[in-house]
Structure formats: structure tokens, C-alpha cells
């Protein structure tokens, strides 16, 4: 195990490098100008709302974590419980830090955008980079420390699955709670503000406007961060667990995913540098910086939107190139690890980017699918919805084929190299690690979006010059495009991770033959396939209920607070934040607990084979539903934006009204239910893995 | 095999009894009064449109059937090809007959409704009974004759799978083509007629009105009939095929499904008698008829809607009681067949009725779920759609649990009885047979609905007194309620049949161990889960395209035909029927062929194990999507009707407008894409079974 330990120590070291970068970038962002008095006041309202929500959310999650930790310690081992708590804390810590910066970077982005597009991007992207790098470093440090702490114990890896479980729990509540919060606030603010009172978006007179801005951060920064924290951790855990069974040379196979993650941190930092670069940043050897600075300078000077998009894309591609080069070295240096495993990492990266590309194709308004929805808007909201559903359904085809082919090739490569199916499944897990190895930078391109969105809101509310708002809008729309990448990686990695965890579960539960026609398998698969539907039904209804309460509150304030409409009365922002928080926390309990309780119940009652069926059913069905909902939602959103560019009568036309209906339907699809399904499938898998040894053959065994 | 042959002969005899009843009932319906001149003229336009569509549809299907028959004869055996052609012809024949009567019963129902509610019901239900009984008898006669013809051949049962394949092919095109036709005509007629020109529904000035009425029959009579013809045939074939492997006493096990079907014909006739009864009908022993006639007389005299609903429900329950009694006798008399198999039949019946009950609960406007959609209509179309989706998703929970439990209990009972998993899977197939054993009457309660709907249209167009329209409306709304039963049985039986076929496929393909972690299994499952989404995307887009062409044509006619709006010009009904036909036939080719081609491609390229995965994925994912779409569609439809009863502002209110959007979105959900998925999952399974022996381990085997 010596070589494994060495790899883990390298990973730990790189995690510390990541933390060092996070601290440095943190100082950079906070040292930026915060703009005028008015901007600061608005920003501080958002900061208060965000921290109020997070504090209350973490308190609820805290109770959950304590209960589950006690259950684990009682029925399994205290070591797993300890890992569970640490996993939860690491994920929560990364989420908290990311949010803390995001709600401070927004106002600084608005101020920087007064100078120029690239100045704004640098601040917003810096904030996203903090989120991205905290996620990967905190995860890596947590896992490696636990690995070293349990060193020598034969159950070393089993204990660490608890870390993934802890991270999953945070992810679930962050995604579901955050998703409900953000959409309830958004829909509530729009329904009364825009529709009933006829005031524009982001108008400071709207009592729900702060809740709406808080929501952007809660959902897209903390939620997405926790989601990918979980995928990242679980894919490494799954790979390491399976690695222990690949061949007799386990040390290399356990160490490999840690090493890939370690060099991924280097690659991510490189990618981030390609966007932010310039003065004061990390010192790289001159022969690199001269070339890079040239690239960056071009951006700074002519900074058109197209250039920025190229810069962001370039950074992801650059990071990918670095990871491929470095992981080749790693694979070649690892004793008894076949070259095939480098190809597997390549497959993971290509698949992730492939899914991202397809996602962008189906949701971007420059492409046919979204335009077909805009076109259908002309014949009213019904055809808008039908066409959007059709596009969403159609958009599942290539992500599924890409994933299926990636799994097939990975299994094949692994099997070729080491001659066992376990090696093949290890390869699937490793492909997931490869896909997520550049997470530090891909998450940055995603998490900066809400910061820009918030900056726009602040610019609007504090009446900054029009060109500032235009710049933040440009950054925001750029963020919408790159967000597609994030979503593609999120769902693709969720599926690979879930399957790798499933394989690890089957090994851990000591299921020898798992026939598809086993007596409890088919019922398990059917029930599993149903859970994503139940889960989505619950989360969608939750948004509706919470939004309804916001509507009532906003209406009340407009009626009861004198001079609110005229701008002389002061709206009670905190009340709306409170209602969103309340609703989100209340409504996240049932779907959240479901994900933990159902696998345990099914495993106990129907047995461990039925549970395997359940996981397969949930993974397949959840994957499809998640992609469909996310892409339909994205496409509706952009179909509206396409009309707003002046197509089919532009803003205010009947087509636009139909498009707004589509957009509103799409909101919970793409920001609540769809992304929450990623977590559902991963969490159910890791719960099963953690409790694997407790399940027998169930009550119906014969 | 002697006892099996005897059972088959009994089944054949009962099939002939069914045909005798069909002919008798046929004469009864056609001898009814056809009403006045105007009514006849409208009816004959519908008749012409329907036969024009069916003739063209059957011509296209004919080409498909010939090509596939040649492929089967070339690559497999001529006997299978022959069974395939006969299966296709039997299904097409039943569909043609059912349609032929339905488009003649509509005008007679309108005429009879002038006398009273029950008079109208008797004519319409008589027409439905012809459809129901043709389906079961034609299926049973076809299969039994083939069985006897191939008698002595060891591949006897293998050949007969071709019959199921033939029936499936017809079903697919009838469902998909019919579904596209009916919704294109419906949406097209409404968009121009009601919305643009402001003329009421079923107005004879609307050029698409005849196409709309034709569509009701094409979709709900021919489409539903072919769907259940296929389930009925395939469940018997699957049970017989698995029966041959249960124990050494195969004769009893092969014979049992045929015997259950045979006594099912008796039960169905009894159920039909309970609704229609009275003078001139089948003579039953006096001690039964006196009691029944008393029951029926009560209906005839006070005929309220509630009474009629009781009559229809009573007939299904009565038939279920009879089948349980008779199949108990059958099971007890079958040598070496355990009592457990009677329990399995009971499980099937209970599950079918359970799913039907849940379907009704989620889609009926007297219940909370649908009312919650009506409630959401108050805040506009977006919340209407979100709530409808949530209800549709939630409505999947119990059908899945019921099916899962039914499978679990069936496998357990079969395994207990004969000690093998095969016996358990045989029991699953038998549960499917039990669920469908009363199909003759359950289909009648479903297929009479469109006749009543058409009758209403004819009453409207020929300006019959208001109370006639009220009566036909009552019959129609009764039909909507009972249609839920039909849909519940259709999807429930589709899943059981598909799983039984899957089990038969795995046996036939000689797959020994089918591990869930086999190299190609996971990709197979994922791709399989994706197909229902692709299929639904294609069929939904098809409706949109075809409806758009109808809109253009109707607009053209209003513009170009002088005096059309004033009622002096004559609309060109045939042109709209032609466009719907054209669109439906063109658009059904790709999704239809997909269902046949994909299993063959996957089986050849990825191998027979991947194909098993594919089938599981499609069955699970398709089941969920089908239930969700069908129930969301039904709930939206009835949420609108609930508002039309005066709730939330009634007709013309903003809530009503939002409800209309929901209803329009629901149309392709519930009448095109949703029900077509039933066929997709069955057809893919049976294609796999037919070609089972041709597949190897694929290109990726290692």
C-alpha cells in the first residue's frame, strides 16, 4: 500500500496548494472597489439574506447529520460516522465560502464593470474560481486525511465511503432547498412585480427582489457547488474502492484516482490563469506567461462578448490539455497500470465535453431546437409547451448515447488491460474521475454566472449608467451559455459515479450472481424508475406552494406599506427572504429524507438484490428525466430571449407572452427538479454502499 | 401435449362463440333507426373519411407487413412469417370491423338518444361490444388455429410468436398513425374554428369537423382495439412459451392460458349482457335472467347518469366474478397445476382494477388532484402546466407499486408451486392473462365512448333537440370515466406482457447468466430508457406538424370558399381528412420502424445481453412516461371540464383560458405519445423474442 499512500500524500499536497490559491484569490476579490453607498446597501441586504438562509439551512442539515451519524455509528462503525460528519462539514464549508465570496463579489463586479467588460469578468470569475477550487481542494484534503488517519486498517476504504455520504447529504439539501428557494423567490417576484404591478425586473420597490437575488446564489453557487463536490468525492471513492479489487497490485490502482485528481488541480489553476491572468497573479515560468499574457491582453483590449466566450472555452480546453499530458505521465509512472487507463481518462473528458456540447446545442438560441420553440410561440402557450417538451425529450438522445458508449469503451479498455469485469468497472469510475478532474475550472465558469446576474441587479437598483448594466447583462448571458457546460458535466458525472458506486455496492454486499430475472430484481427496477418521478412531483409542488406564499406577502406589502409604489416607503425585504427560507426548508425534508430512507427500506425488506435493481432503475430513469427537464427548461428560457432580440414581434408581442409561459414552466424544471435528480441518483447509490453489509436477502427470499 | 391440444380446441370453440355473438350484435346495431336525412348525410361523410383513412393506412401497413414477412421467411422460418401475416390480418380485421360498426353506430346512437339515455347507451355499447368481442375472438381463433396447424412440430410455439409480432405491428401503426390523425384534426379544428373564427365545436361550417369526428374513431376505437389485441395475444403467447419450460407436465401449463382466455369469453359475454340485456338478446337460464332483467329494468326506467355508471362498473365486476369462478374450476381440473396459479389470476385481475382505480382517482374532476390543477389555472397557464406535470408524475407512484407487488407475488406463488424461477415468470405471464381475461367487456366500456362522442357531434350538426345532445354528452362523459379503466388495463397489461416476453426472450436466446454488471448490460439499459423519450419527441412533433397543415387548409377554405361562414357554401371535408391522413401516415413511419429496427440492431451489434438490458430499460422508462403522460393529459382535460361546471369563474374566465392551454398540451400526451408507448415496449419485446436465436454476443464481446 506504500505507493497508494505516496499518491494520497501527493494529492493532499496539491489540495493544500488549492487552498493557498483560494486564500490568495479571496484577498484579491475582497480588495476590489465596492462602488457607491447605494450599491453597498443593496449588497449588504443580499449578504444578510444569503447568510440568514445558509445559517438556517445548515442548522436543519446539522440535525439531519447528527441523527444519521448516530445511526451509522450504532449500526455500522464509528469511523464511518466520523467520515460522514467530516464529509458533510467539508462540503458545507466549501459551499459557505463560495457563497460568502459570491455575495461580496457581485457588488464589486458591478463596480468593476463600470471600467470595462473584462474587468467585470475578472472579478466575477475570480469569485467562481474560489468556489471551484474550494470544492476540489476541500474534498481532496478531507479524503486524503481520512485515508491517512485510517491507514493500516483493512476497512480503510469502507470508512471513507462515509465521506461521500456526508457530502451527498449536504448536496441533496443544498440542491433541493436552494432550488426551491431560488424558484419560489423568482416566480413570486415576477408574478406580482412584473405581471400585477407592472414594475420592471430587479426594481428595488419589489419586496421580493432581494430574495430573488439571494436565490441566484443559493441555487447556482451553493447548490451546484455541493452537487459537484459530491460527484467529485464519490467518483474518487468509487474508483479507489473498485481499485482495491482490480488486481494484486492494488496500490497503484487505489492511488491512481488520487493522482489524477492531484494533477487536475494543476490543470484547473492553469485554466483559471488563462482567464484572469495578469498582474499580481500566480507566477509561472516566463516562457508560458509571455504567450498567455499575449492571449489575455487581446481579451482585455478588444473585449467583445465573442472574445470572452473564447477565453472561457479556451480555459476549459487548456485545462483539459494539461490534464491529459500530466495524467499520461502519472499512468506511465504507475507500476502495473496499463496505458489503457490513460485512454479511459481521455474517454471521460471527451464524454463530459461531448455532453456539454449537446446541451449547449439544444439550449442555445442560435441553434435550431430553441428557435423551433420560439417559432411555436406564435401559435400560443400550448404549442410552446408541446414543442419545448419535444425538444427536451429529443435532447436526451445524444447524452445517453455518449454515456453508453463511454461506459462500453471504458469497460472494454479496463477488461482488455486486466482481464476482469471489475477492472472494467474500475475504468468506468476512472472515466468519471477524468471527467471531473478539471472541475476547479469548469465549476468556475459556471459559478461566476450568478455573480454577474446579481451584479446586473445591483446596477439596476442603484441606477448605474446604462452601459454598466449592458456589460453585466453580457456577462450574465455568457454565464448562461457556459452554465450548459456545468450542467452537462454534472449529469454526465452523476451517471458514471452512480454506476461506479453501484458496482462498488454489489462488491461490498457480496452479491455473487445478480440475474436480471431474479425474483425481486424486476420489482426493484420498476420502483427505482418511479422514484425520480415522485421526487420531481414533490419538488415541483414545493416550488408552487412556496411561490404562492411569496405572492401573498408581496401583495400584502404593496397594500399595507404606504408609499411603497411611489418609492417613498421601504419594502420589508427580510420578510420575503424569510418566507422563501421557511418554504424551502420545510419542503426539502420529505424528498430529501426519501433519498436516504428508501434504499434502506428496500434493502431490508426486499433484499440486497432488489436494492441493486432499485439503483439501476433510479439511475436510468433519473438520468433521462434530469436531462429532459434541464434542457427543456434551458431551451424555454432562451426561446424567450431569442424573441426578446426582436424575433416574431419581440418583447410585448403575443409570441413573447407565450414564451414567458414556457420560461416560467421551465424554471422549476431546470433549477429545482432537474438538477436535484443528479443528487438523488448519487445519494441513493452511496447510501446503499455505506449500508451494503447490513442487507440480507429480504423477506421474500426463497 | 394432448391436454394442451384439448385446451386449445376449447379455446377455439369459445372464440367461435365470440364470433357468433359479434355477428348477432352487428345485425342488432345496424337494424337501428338511422335518423333523418341530414343525420345520414353527416354520418356518411364520417364513414367515407374513416374508410378512406383505414384503407390508406392498411395499404401502408400492408407494404410493411410484406417486407417484414419476407425478412422473417428469409432469416428465420416461413412458418413464423405465416403466423406474422395472420396475426397482422387478424388484428387489422378486428380493427376494421370495429371501425365499420362504430361509424355506423354513431348516427344510430344519436337517433336512439332521442328516446332516452339507456336507449342511446345500448346502441353505443353494442358497438363497443363488437369491438371488444372481435378482438378477443379473432385473436383466440387465430392463435389456436395456428397452434393446431403446427401441431407435432417441436417449434410450434416459436412459430406462433410471429402472430404476436404481426398483431404488434398493426397495433403500432394504428396507435401512432391514429393518434397523430386524431390530435392533428382536433387541434387543427379547434385552433381555426373555435379560436380564430369563433364558431362552436362540432359546427358543420368548420371544414375540419368531419376529420375531427373520424379521428375519434381512428384513435380510440381502432387504436385502442389494436393495442389490446396485441397485449391479449402476446400475454397468452408468453405464458404458453414459458409454460413449456415450467415442469415436465408442460401440457397443463401450455393449456392453462388458453383455457383462462376461453372462460374469459363467457365472462365477457355475461358482463355485456348486464349492460345491454333485455329483448332479443342471448338466452340465459331463467333463474339468471330474472335477476339480471330486474337489474337492467331498473336502469332502463330511471336511467340517471349515476345508474349507468353503476351498470358499466357492475358489468366489469360481474365479469370479473364469473372469470374467477370459472378459472378456479379450470385450475382445479388441470392436472399438476397448483391452486397458486388461480391466485395469480386473481392477482392479475386485482392489479388491473387497482391501476384503473388509481387512474380514475388522478384524472377525475371530483377528486383532489385534478381539482388542484383547476385551482392552479387561476394563476395562469404556467402554473396550470406545472401542477399538471406534478399530478402526472405523482400518479405514477401507485401503478408502479401495484405492478411491482403483483410481479413479486406472482413470482413468489409460481416459485412456491413449482420451485423454479421459470415457474415464477410463467406466473407473471399468467397474471397478465388474468388481467386481460375480461377484455371483451372492458374494451367495450372503452370503445363505446367515441361512438357517443360522435353521436353528440351529429346531434349538434343536424340541429336535433337540445335534450338529445345533453344525453349524448352524458354518455360521452361517462365514456371518459370508463376510458380510464381501459387505459389502466392497457398500460398494466403492457408491462406484465413485456416482462413475460422478456423472460421468454432470455430463455429463447439461451442466455445463461445475465448479470446486471455484464459489460454491455448497463449501456443497453441506458439506451433502452432513452428510447421512449425519443419516441415521444417524434410523435409529439408529428402532431404539431400535421395540425399546422390542417390549420393552413382550414384557413384557406374560409378564405376561398364563398359563403362558407354564412352557411351557404359547402366546406371540403375530404381535403382535411386527406391532410390528416397524409400527415399521420408520413409521420408514423420513423417512430414505427424504430421500434422494429432498434432491437435488431442492438441485438446484432451489442449482442443478446445488451438487448435484454435494452428491453428492461425501455419497459421501465416507457411505463413511467406512458402513465405520466396519459394521466397528466386526462387530468388537464378534466380540470378544464371542472372549471366549465362553473368553478373559478366558469367558461370564458381567465382560469378557463389557462385550462384550455393545459388541455391542448394534454391532447398529444394522452392520445398520441402516451398510449403509443404501450406498444413500443411490447413490440420491442416481441421483435426480440422472434429474432432471439439470431443474436450472438455482439461486436464488443470479450
Our CA-based measurement puts residue A241 at a distance from the nearest CA of chain B, in whole angstroms, of 16
Nearest neighbour of A519 by CB, restricted to B412, B506, B616: B412
- pLDDT surpassing 90 at residue B489: no
Highest mean pLDDT: which range of A139-148, A294-303, B481-490: A139-148
Task: Verify whether the Cβ–Cβ distance B387 to A544 is below 8 Å.
Answer: yes
Residue for grid cell 432547498: A177
Q: What is the mean pLDDT of chain A?
A: 87
Looking at beta carbons, which residues of chain A come within 8 Å of B551?
379
- pLDDT surpassing 70 at residue B3: yes
Task: Verify whether the Cβ–Cβ distance A390 to B537 is below 8 Å.
Answer: yes
d(CA A191, CA A198): 10
Q: What is the pLDDT of residue A392?
A: 95
Read off the pLDDT of residues B641-677 as tens digits, 9 standing for 90 and up. 899 888 899 888 989 999 999 998 998 998 889 888 9
Nearest Cα residue in chain B from A518: B421
Q: What is the mean pLDDT of residues A240-267?
A: 88
Task: Verify whether the Cβ–Cβ distance B404 to A665 is below 8 Å.
Answer: no
Task: Verify whether the Cβ–Cβ distance A386 to B529 is below 8 Å.
Answer: no
Helix and strand tally (H, E) in chain A?
22, 0
Our CA-based measurement puts residue A527 at a distance from the nearest CA of chain B, in whole angstroms, of 6
Interface with B, mutate which of A179, A238, A381 (most B CBs under 10 A) = A381
d(CA A110, CA A103): 12
Chains A, B: CB contacts within 8 A come to 231
Q: Which of A70-84, A679-693, B242-256 has the lowest mean pLDDT?
A: B242-256
Q: What is the pLDDT of residue A280?
A: 45
To 10 degrees, what angle do helices A421-436 and A340-363 make? 50
Q: What is the pLDDT of residue B282?
A: 47
**What is the band of B280 on the pLDDT scale with cuts at 50, 70, 90?**
very low
Looking at beta carbons, which residues of chain A come within 8 Å of B518?
421
Q: What is the pLDDT of residue B685?
A: 93
Our CA-based measurement puts residue B286 at a distance from the nearest CA of chain A, in whole angstroms, of 47
Q: What is the pLDDT of residue B281?
A: 47
Our CA-based measurement puts residue B621 at a distance from the nearest CA of chain A, in whole angstroms, of 6
Looking at beta carbons, which residues of chain B come within 8 Å of A389?
537, 540, 665
Task: Verify whether the Cβ–Cβ distance A499 to B506 is below 8 Å.
Answer: no
Looking at beta carbons, which residues of chain A come within 8 Å of B403?
526
Helices (H), B462-520: 466-508
Q: What is the mean pLDDT of residues A428-445?
A: 92
Contact A72, A98 (CB under 8 A): no
Looking at beta carbons, which residues of chain B come within 8 Å of A544?
376, 383, 386-387, 390
Read off the pLDDT of residues B173-230 as tens digits, 9 standing for 90 and up. 888 888 888 888 888 887 777 767 778 777 888 888 888 888 888 888 888 889 899 9
Q: Which residue, among A327, A195, A176, A183, has the nearest Cα to A263 in the 3D structure?
A: A327
Cα B208 to its chain centre, rounded Å, is 25
Q: Which of A581-595, B67-81, B303-317, B333-347 has the lowest mean pLDDT?
A: B303-317
Q: What is the mean pLDDT of residues A121-125?
A: 89
Q: What is the CA angle B62-B68-B73, rounded to 5?
A: 125
Contact B277, B296 (CB under 8 A): yes
Interior/surface letters A168-205, b for 16+ CB within 10 angstroms, e for the rest: bbbbbbbbbbbbbbbbbbbbbbbbbbeeebebeebbbb
Q: Which of A176-185, A336-345, A676-685, B289-298 has the lowest mean pLDDT?
A: B289-298
Q: What is the mean pLDDT of residues B512-521?
A: 75
Q: Which of A163-177, B7-21, B475-489 has the lowest mean pLDDT?
A: B475-489
- pLDDT surpassing 70 at residue B701: no
Task: Verify whether the Cβ–Cβ distance B386 to A543 is below 8 Å.
Answer: yes
Helices (H), B334-396: 340-363, 368-377, 381-394
- pLDDT surpassing 90 at residue B73: yes
Nearest neighbour of B624 by CB, restricted to A521, A530, A616: A530
Interface with A, mutate which of B382, B545, B628 (most A CBs under 10 A) = B382
Q: What is the pLDDT of residue B321?
A: 93
Helices (H), B198-302: 209-216, 224-243, 250-276, 286-302
Our CA-based measurement puts residue A153 at a distance from the nearest CA of chain B, in whole angstroms, of 29
Q: What is the mean pLDDT of residues A194-215?
A: 80
User: What count of other Cβ atoms lies within 10 Å of the Cβ of residue A696?
Assistant: 11
Read off the pLDDT of residues A138-153 as tens digits, 9 standing for 90 and up. 999 999 999 999 988 8
User: What count of other Cβ atoms lies within 10 Å of the Cβ of residue B516?
Assistant: 25
Looking at beta carbons, which residues of chain A come within 8 Å of B424?
519
Q: What is the mean pLDDT of residues B314-328?
A: 91
Nearest neighbour of A400 by CB, restricted to B386, B517, B526: B526
Q: What is the pLDDT of residue A384?
A: 93
Q: Which of A113-127, A337-351, B199-213 has the lowest mean pLDDT?
A: B199-213
Q: What is the pLDDT of residue B295?
A: 55
Our CA-based measurement puts residue B50 at a distance from the nearest CA of chain A, in whole angstroms, of 27
- pLDDT surpassing 60 at residue A354: yes
The residue ranking higher by pLDDT, B592 or B485, is B592
- pLDDT surpassing 60 at residue B2: no
Looking at beta carbons, which residues of chain A come within 8 Å of B400?
526-527, 529-530
Task: Verify whether the Cβ–Cβ distance A612 to B519 is below 8 Å.
Answer: no
Name the grid cell of B252.
397443463
Nearest Cα residue in chain B from A619: B526
Nearest neighbour of A517 by CB, restricted to B514, B537, B668: B514
Task: Verify whether the Cβ–Cβ distance A519 to B421 is below 8 Å.
Answer: yes
The residue ranking higher by pLDDT, A373 or A584, is A373
Looking at beta carbons, which residues of chain A come within 8 Å of B527?
400-401, 404
Looking at beta carbons, which residues of chain A come within 8 Å of B530?
396-397, 400-401, 624
Task: Verify whether the Cβ–Cβ distance A400 to B529 is below 8 Å.
Answer: yes
Q: What percent of chain A has pLDDT over 70?
A: 94
Nearest neighbour of A620 by CB, restricted to B424, B548, B621: B621
Name the grid cell of B111.
337517433
Our CA-based measurement puts residue A501 at a distance from the nearest CA of chain B, in whole angstroms, of 12
Contact A274, A322 (CB under 8 A): no
Task: Verify whether the Cβ–Cβ distance A526 to B404 is below 8 Å.
Answer: yes
Our CA-based measurement puts residue B98 at a distance from the nearest CA of chain A, in whole angstroms, of 31
Nearest Cα residue in chain A from B548: A379
Residue B515, SS3 per DSSP: strand
Task: Verify whether the Cβ–Cβ distance A529 to B623 is below 8 Å.
Answer: yes
Task: Verify whether the Cβ–Cβ distance A544 to B424 is below 8 Å.
Answer: no
Cα–Cα distances (Å) from B76 to B79, B158, B160, B230, in that order, read: 9, 11, 13, 22
User: What count of other Cβ atoms lies within 10 Å of the Cβ of residue A297?
Assistant: 13
Interface with B, mutate which of A380, A388, A390, A676 (most B CBs under 10 A) = A390
Nearest neighbour of B537 by CB, restricted to A393, A620, A665: A393
Q: What is the mean pLDDT of residues A597-604?
A: 94
- pLDDT surpassing 70 at residue B302: no
Cα–Cα distances (Å) from B112 to B37, B150, B296, in that order, read: 15, 47, 17
Task: Verify whether the Cβ–Cβ distance B397 to A533 is below 8 Å.
Answer: yes
Interface with A, mutate which of B347, B397, B427, B537 (most A CBs under 10 A) = B537
Read off the pLDDT of residues A51-104 as tens digits, 9 standing for 90 and up. 888 888 888 889 989 999 999 999 888 999 999 999 999 999 999 999 999 999
Nearest Cα residue in chain B from A701: B412
Read off the pLDDT of residues B94-103 as tens digits, 9 standing for 90 and up. 999 999 999 9
Q: What is the CA radius of gyration of chain A?
A: 24
Task: Verify whether the Cβ–Cβ distance A412 to B382 is below 8 Å.
Answer: no
Our CA-based measurement puts residue A537 at a distance from the nearest CA of chain B, in whole angstroms, of 4
Our CA-based measurement puts residue B214 at a distance from the nearest CA of chain A, in whole angstroms, of 23
Nearest neighbour of A533 by CB, restricted to B412, B530, B628: B628
Nearest neighbour of B624 by CB, restricted to A379, A412, A529: A529
Task: Verify whether the Cβ–Cβ distance A515 to B519 is below 8 Å.
Answer: no
Amino acid at each position: 500500500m506504500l505507493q497508494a499512500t505516496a499518491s494520497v500524500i501527493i494529492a493532499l499536497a496539491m489540495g493544500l496548494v488549492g487552498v493557498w490559491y483560494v486564500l490568495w484569490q479571496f484577498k484579491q476579490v475582497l480588495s476590489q472597489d465596492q462602488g457607491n453607498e447605494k450599491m453597498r446597501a443593496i449588497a449588504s441586504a443580499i449578504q444578510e439574506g444569503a447568510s440568514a438562509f445558509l445559517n438556517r439551512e445548515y442548522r436543519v442539515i446539522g440535525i439531519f447529520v447528527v441523527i444519521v451519524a448516530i445511526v451509522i455509528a450504532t449500526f455500522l462503525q464509528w469511523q464511518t460516522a466520523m467520515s460522514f460528519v467530516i464529509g458533510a462539514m467539508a462540503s458545507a464549508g466549501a459551499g459557505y465560502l463560495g457563497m460568502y465570496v459570491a455575495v461580496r463579489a457581485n457588488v464589486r463586479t458591478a463596480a468593476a464593470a463600470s471600467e470595462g467588460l473584462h474587468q467585470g469578468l475578472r472579478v466575477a470569475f475570480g469569485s467562481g474560481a474560489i468556489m471551484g477550487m474550494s470544492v476540489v481542494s476541500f474534498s481532496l484534503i478531507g479524503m486524503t486525511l481520512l485515508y491517512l488517519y485510517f491507514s493500516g486498517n483493512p476497512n480503510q476504504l469502507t470508512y471513507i465511503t462515509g465521506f461521500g455520504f456526508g457530502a451527498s447529504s449536504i448536496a441533496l439539501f443544498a440542491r433541493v432547498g436552494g432550488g426551491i428557494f431560488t424558484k419560489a423567490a423568482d416566480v413570486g417576484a415576477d408574478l406580482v412585480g412584473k405581471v400585477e404591478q407592472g414594475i420592471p425586473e430587479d426594481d428595488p420597490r419589489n419586496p421580493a427582489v432581494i430574495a430573488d437575488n439571494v436565490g441566484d446564489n443559493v441555487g447556482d453557487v451553493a447548490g451546484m457547488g455541493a452537487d459537484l463536490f459530491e460527484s467529485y468525492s464519490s467518483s474518487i471513492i468509487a474508483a479507489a474502492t473498485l481499485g482495491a479489487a482490480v488486481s494484486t497490485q492494488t496500490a497503484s490502482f487505489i492511488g491512481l484516482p488520487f493522482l489524477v485528481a492531484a494533477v487536475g488541480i494543476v490543470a484547473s489553476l492553469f485554466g483559471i490563469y488563462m482567464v484572469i491572468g495578469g498582474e499580481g497573479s500566480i507566477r509561472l515560468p516566463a516562457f508560458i506567461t509571455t504567450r498567455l499574457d499575449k492571449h489575455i491582453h487581446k481579451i482585455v483590449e478588444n473585449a467583445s462578448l465573442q472574445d470572452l466566450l473564447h477565453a472561457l472555452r479556451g480555459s476549459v480546453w487548456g485545462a483539459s490539455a494539461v490534464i491529459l499530458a500530466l495524467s499520461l505521465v502519472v499512468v506511465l509512472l504507475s507500476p502495473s497500470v496499463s496505458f489503457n487507463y490513460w485512454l479511459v481518462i481521455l474517454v471521460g473528458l471527451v464524454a463530459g465535453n461531448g455532453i456539454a456540447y449537446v446541451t449547449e446545442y439544444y439550449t442555445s438560441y442560435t441553434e435550431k431546437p430553441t428557435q423551433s420553440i420560439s417559432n411555436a410561440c406564435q401559435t400560443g402557450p400550448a404549442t410552446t409547451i408541446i414543442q419545448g417538451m419535444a425538444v427536451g425529450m429529443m435532447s436526451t438522445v445524444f447524452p445517453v448515447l455518449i454515456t453508453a458508449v463511454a461506459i462500453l469503451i471504458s469497460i472494454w479498455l479496463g477488461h482488455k488491460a486486466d482481464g476482469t469485469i471489475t477492472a472494467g468497472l474500475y475504468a468506468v469510475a476512472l472515466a468519471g474521475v477524468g471527467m471531473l478532474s478539471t472541475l476547479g475550472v469548469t465549476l468556475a465558469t459556471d459559478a461566476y454566472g450568478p455573480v454577474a446576474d446579481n451584479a446586473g441587479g445591483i446596477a439596476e437598483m442603484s441606477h448605474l449608467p446604462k452601459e454598466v448594466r449592458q456589460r453585466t447583462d453580457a456577462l450574465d448571458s455568457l454565464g448562461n451559455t457556459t452554465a450548459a457546460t456545468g450542467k452537462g458535466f454534472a449529469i454526465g458525472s452523476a451517471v458514471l459515479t452512480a454506476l461506479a458506486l453501484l458496482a462498488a455496492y454489489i462488491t461490498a454486499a457480496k452479491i455473487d450472481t445478480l440475474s436480471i430475472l431474479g425474483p425481486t430484481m424486476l420489482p426493484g427496477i420498476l420502483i427505482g424508475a418511479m422514484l425520480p418521478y415522485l421526487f420531481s412531483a414533490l419538488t415541483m409542488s414545493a416550488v408552487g406552494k412556496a411561490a404562492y406564499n411569496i405572492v401573498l406577502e408581496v401583495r400584502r406589502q404593496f397594500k399595507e406599506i404606504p408609499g411603497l409604489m411611489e418609492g417613498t416607503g421601504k419594502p420589508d425585504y427580510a420578510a420575503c427572504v424569510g418566507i422563501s427560507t421557511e418554504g424551502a426548508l420545510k419542503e426539502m425534508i420529505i424528498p430529501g429524507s426519501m433519498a436516504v430512507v428508501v434504499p434502506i427500506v428496500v434493502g431490508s425488506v426486499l433484499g440486497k438484490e432488489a436494492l441493486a435493481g432499485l439503483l439501476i432503475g433510479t439511475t436510468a430513469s433519473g438520468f433521462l428525466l434530469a436531462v429532459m427537464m434541464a434542457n427543456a427548461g434551458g431551451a424555454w428560457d432562451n426561446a424567450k430571449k431569442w424573441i426578446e432580440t426582436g424575433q416574431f414581434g419581440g418583447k410585448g408581442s403575443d409570441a413573447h407572452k407565450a414564451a414567458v409561459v414556457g420560461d416560467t414552466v421551465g424554471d422549476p424544471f431546470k433549477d429545482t427538479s432537474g438538477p436535484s435528480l443528479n443528487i438523488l441518483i448519487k445519494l441513493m447509490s452511496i447510501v446503499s454502499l455505506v449500508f451494503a453489509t447490513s442487507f440480507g436477502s429480504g423477506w421474500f427470499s426463497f
